[in-house]
Amino acid sequence: MRRDVFQAIADPTRRAIVTLIALQALTPNAISEHFDITRQAVSKHLRILTECELVEPKQQGREIYYQLNIHKMKEIDKWLEQFRKIWEKRFSQLDDVLLTLKSNKK
């Protein structure tokens, strides 16, 4: 089954895993130490994140390290950009209203 990146970040545990490995690549065991869930549950989340290409497994000796795929994060950022522009416009309009109210008060 093909999943998209938004399915991956829909789950709070997966978002926490992404946040955790954003700074450094970690093994599944190292990741599971940060959560109150089983190692198997962490593996399931990692599988989904990998299917969405949000994380990439890298073999180093006998260990597998999971690291963030920053290019896939850009897909999320691109989608959010449309909302960011709306918010910035609304904040700018609010600033204008507040300045008008302040100048009328004097």
Give the tens place of pLDDT for each residue, 12-44: 999 999 999 999 999 999 999 999 999 999 999
6: tokens are 């938004």
Domains of the chain: 5-105 (1.10.10.10)
Percentage of the chain beyond pLDDT 70 is: 97
- Tell me, what's the pLDDT at 2? 65
- Tell me, what's the pLDDT at 102? 85
Q: Can you tell me the distance from the alpha carbon of 72 to that of 102, in angstroms, rounded to the nearest whole number?
A: 44
- Tell me, what's the pLDDT at 1? 58
Q: Can you tell me the distance from the alpha carbon of 63 to that of 65, in angstroms, rounded to the nearest whole number?
A: 6
pLDDT greater than 90 at residue 76: no
Q: Which residues pair with 58 in a beta bridge?
A: 65
